Structure 1
Amino acid sequence: MRLMSRKRCRQRQRCRRRIRNCGSVALVAKRENLPGQKDDNYQVVRGISPPDLPEDILRHIHAKMTLRDAARAACASHTFERSWICFPNLTFSPKTLGLNGNASTDVITRDLISKVDQILQNHSGIGVKTLNLDLLECGNIDFSYVESWLHIAVTPGIEELILSPPLVTFSVYNFPCSLLSNGSGNSIQYLELGHCTLHATVGLGCLRSLTRLHMFRVRTSGDELWCLLSNSSALVHLELWYCKEIISLKIPSLQRFRFLDVVQCDSLQEVESNAPNLTKFRYSGLLGQISLGGSLQVKTLRMICPSQTNILCWYAHNLLSIAPNVETLTISSSSETVNTPMLSGKFLHLKHLEILLGGMAAYDYLSLVSFLDASPHLEKFVLAINQHRMEHDSILGGPSHDLRQIREQRYDKLKNVKISGFCSAKSLVELTCHILENTTSLDCLTLDTTSWYLRCSVTKSSKCYPLMDRDSLVEAQKALLAIRRYVLGKVPSMVKLNILEPCSLCHTVEPLM
């Protein structure tokens, strides 16, 4: 018994030395009331080792674990302990480090600095593939720590770098571009920067492997961004969100570039792309001068302009020169004070058209046939109207023969039509009837009188969100009455008609006579 006791004592001592050698591993692995932690220690004490597999396979298994599981495995195995010092996927955030989310910002910041600092100080810096520093929930942080962490982990071979400094230090932190020189930037494939300043003209290395770049609230100029893009010959995907200091965005002639996404860059006045193979362009914000180099490859175009008027009129005159071969088109306008004119040409490849409109009093919805007439191969048409405070001339009370008739135009490819926010506006009913009378291929017509409200069947609260106000409910009842009077009789028997009305569980309104 004494011999067995001594043997167990030596095993415990070896276990303690192994855990001490792990350094910061124990910090990550430690978690109060964590199920199975005692079992792990018990297995270590008993000398239970991982499966008898080649070390390279075990390292691969270790690399697939989460940070916390990898740290715990390193405490339990010599093999995993050796691979821990070159663990490839380093994702640091209060959640991945198991910090107390209910603690104060200062406590979270202090604990995160302690753990990250110890982990990286014990890391060899070799083999890092992903570094994700998510510091958004932290308070003021000494940027010398961030600099130190970046210089340890950003080494040749790294593939993903994600940096999100604290919100309270928005745009104060200057990202060190010199970090990407000396070969460290050659292997980066994905770069995401948020809430910082980027001066890409100094010390920037060649980012020859970079395929995707995402900037969120980054302070940089158009010239500095041009310098960064010019050093990224393999770039495929660029996202710029809320980068408010860019006035002119110019894309170099990048042969592999396919996707451009610009969201609310408020100072932006010009977008010019010289990339010959750009296929998808998404834009949200103030509409300025846009030139895609006459690219014949742009297939998907999404333009959301929530604070500008008469955008449809602008498209009617300019769309053909921007993307003549577009296949999927989404456009948005807050208000139209003039009717949509005839488009300047034909879109022979357009198959999916979505138009989002704010509620407008004087707009003639029937003028939207100009888009339909210009799209002979259109298969799906979606019209979404915001009903909030909408004013219009209702068709109710007028004679049925008062519906306008315009010249016939056959839509032989159109199969699916959806109108969300359908109301009793006379011109909207006329547009619906025109589509029914001139479409021979229609399979489904959906008329949604509730706009884009979420129904109780899909919300966590089991109630519609937001609840429709009384004016919207009354208008929905008018829309249903208009459908019964003017639309139902024109729907062919082979067309499936879907009529969506306010949820009876969450809304109560007396039907109109």
Structure 2
Amino acid sequence: MQEIWGHIHSLMSLRDAARAACVSHSFLRSWRCHPNLTFSKEALVLGWNPYRKSKSSDKESSDRVRKIDHILKNHSGIGLKVVRLELFDAANISTCYLDKWLRLAVKPGLEELELLLDYDAEYNFPCSVLLDGRANSIRLLHLTYCVFRPMAGFSCLRSLTCLSLCDVYITGDELGCLLSCSFALEELTLMSCEEIICLKIPCMLQRLNHLVVHECDNLEVVESKAPNLSIFQYTGGAVKLSLGDALRDLTITASGWNLVHYAGAKLPQIVPYLEALYIISSLAITIPVLPGKFFHLKDLAISFMVSTGSFCPDYDYFSLVSFLDACPSLETFMLSVTQDSVEHDSVLGDLSQLRQMPGHSHGSIKDVTIIGFSSAKSMVELACHILENATSLERFTLETVRYDFRCCDGYSECNPVTEDMMVEAHKALLAVERYLLEKVPSTVELNVVEPCGRCSAAENFDYKLS
């Protein structure tokens, strides 16, 4: 019976488990063996309001320090699997307490360790707590806003499958020392680790399949020799990439980098067996005919985003035809354009003929979506080209306004859209009627998503379709 009570107790959150231990002798005995110690403000501060933006008072901070210290000192260590320290006011907590808590928490059998500090913590993580076999059972390690200096000969974390470092001071060589003994690693996430210049993933990481690198500002090189790395997500500036033949899924988000041209010109040689490619860029130059081909690429998404204003008015969306040509196995294509206004030449009122590229055939494309579809002439030309040359096309979707969230999905209202974009959306609808409808084959399902009639009624704007 005691085992049943202990199991029920282990399923409770830290806060509920503590409350139960206060009123039940059965739960009190199992409290010292509770497997999940998640120390957050919600768990430790009575009446805590998650929407309060002000920092904790000194009294609240001292109360939480006392509670954490008491719980960790009195825990038996038996059965402890998860320790999560959310200390977003760590600057008010003495480092001796942090060192002490880590020494108490890291014992054989621990599987997950998370130390989440705030930006002004300036805490040196004591690597010594991971030595002498105490950390060999840890499968997940997540650190934020601290200094982490594993040295040569750092031999631990042999069971680690997931490593996440966010705003952590660690050099590429120090990370290499850590990775060299993490043979079980499957996922690696690096966010805003500014000391890393060269990221090298060694070949002994046989199980690594997912790598995320986000805004490591000084990074120049990403080189992976992990034989089974299949997913890579990158956000940042231009870097030299060497990723291996196993990569199948690549996402790149960049600013100040002609990413679409780079992807077409370089990636076929770097990742020849790529199956899914997602590109998000704020900069583009019209791309020429591509020198290589993505023979295995099935899913392609290209997003152009600007924070304010309009996307480059000289960009020729029609040039993306050469990208489609370079993907003979492509099945789904999505183009997304986010902007506050459109400065491209509109197809409406333009008396010149729409450009065509005869002889091009995209025989595998089945599903095409254009989000932020406008009356820009080159975008209309791209849409016409796809309708005329994608012989296997089944579904064609045009969203005239990009909504990050819509009222029809359960929100109180759609996210705001500028008046210029609403006017452009109605121009886009007219362009669909004039130039695209007659080109839609009977076998193709055309979906045109109009502006929300509830949140952005047409009568709120001066532009009239005529």
Structures share a fold, TM > 0.5? yes
Query: Which residue is 1:243 aligned to?
Result: 193
Match of 1:71 among 7, 12, 18: 18
Aligned to 1:59: 6
- Residue 183 of structure 1: which of 133, 140, 147 is its match? 133
Partner Cα distance (2:60, 2:392) in 1: 61
Shift of 1:243: 1.2
In the TM superposition, what whole-angstrom CA distance separates every residue of 1:97-125 from its partner, at most 9, and x where no partner exists? 24333584323211111111111121122
Q: Distance in 2 between matches of 1:395 and 1:80?
A: 72
Q: CA shift at 1:453, angstroms? A: 4.2
Equivalent residue, structure 1, for 2:299:
352
Q: Establish whether residue 304 from structure 1 lines up as the match of residue 253 from structure 2.
A: yes
Aligned to 1:34: none
| Aligned with residue 327 of structure 1, among 241, 257, 275 | 275
How far apart are residue 382 of structure 1 and its match? 0.2
Displacement of 1:66 in angstroms is 1.5
Sequence identity (%):
49
Indicate the larger mover: 110-119 or 401-410: 401-410
SS at match of 1:321: helix
Is the CA contact 1:283–1:302 (under 8 Å) kept in the aligned structure 2? yes
2:450 aligned with 1:501, yes or no?
yes
Report Cα offsets for 1:348-388 as digits up to 9, x if no partner.
22111000114121111111011211112211100001232
Higher Rg? 1
For 2:159, give the aligned amino acid: S
- Contact 1:94–1:137 under 8 Å retained in 2: no
CA distance in 2, matches of 1:406, 1:464: 38
| Matched letter for residue 164 of structure 1 | L
1:339 aligned partner: 286
Give, as a single letter, the amino acid of the residue that structure 1 aligns with 2:158.
R
Instruction: Give the match's secondary structure for 1:276.
Output: coil
Q: Residue by residue, what CA displacement relative to the aligned partner does 1:449-476 show, whole Å, maximum 9, x if unpaired? A: 112443222364x2221x2222112211
| From 175, 189, 192, the counterpart of 1:225 | 175
Q: Does 1:474 align with 2:423?
A: yes
> Quick one: which of 127, 149, 158 aligns to 2:79?
127
1:153 aligns with 2:109: no
Structure 1: where are the runs of 5+ without partners?
Answer: 1-52
Q: Is the 8 A contact 2:403 2:414 kept in 1?
A: no
- Given candidates 248, 251, 266, the residue that maps to 2:217 is 266
Q: Give unmatched runs, 5+ long, in structure 2.
A: 50-54, 306-310
Question: Aligned to 1:168, what secondary structure does the other structure show?
Answer: coil
Q: 1:138 Cα shift?
A: 5.4
Residue 178 (structure 1) shift: 0.8
Residues in 2 aligned to 1:177 and 1:114: alpha-carbon distance in whole angstroms: 24
Q: Give the alignment partner of residue 488 of structure 1, picking from 427, 433, 437.
A: 437
What secondary structure sits across from 1:353 in the alignment? strand
Structure 2 match to 1:433: 384
SS of equivalent to 2:115: strand
User: Is 1:512 aligned to residue 461 of structure 2?
Assistant: no
TM-score of the superposed pair, with normalisation by structure 1: 0.84
Secondary structure at 1:260's aligned position in 2? strand
Candidates 304, 316, 338, aligned match of 1:386: 338
Q: CA deviation at 1:151?
A: 0.8
Deviation per residue, 1:289-344 (Å, 9 max, x gap): 1111xx22111000011x224211111221112211111110122122x3112222
Verify: 1:234 aligned to 2:187, yes or no: no
Provide runs of 4+ in structure 1 moved above 4 Å.
Answer: none
> In structure 2, the residue corresponding to 1:457 is in which secondary structure?
helix
**1:313 aligned residue:** 261
Contact 2:237 2:257 in 1 (8 A): no
Q: Is the 8 A contact 1:339 1:364 kept in 2?
A: yes
Q: Secondary structure at the match of 2:266?
A: helix
Cα distance in 2 for partners of 1:493, 1:64 equals 56
Q: How far, CA to CA, are the matches of 1:168 and 1:475 in structure 2?
A: 45
Matched AA of 1:145: Y
The reply on whether 1:367 has 2:319 as its aligned counterpart is yes
Which residue is 2:32 aligned to? Answer: 85
Deviations 1:197-229 (A, max 9, x none): 111117833211000000111111111111111
Q: C-alpha distance in 2, partners of 1:474/1:215?
A: 45
Question: Is the aligned partner of 1:95 residue 2:42?
Answer: yes
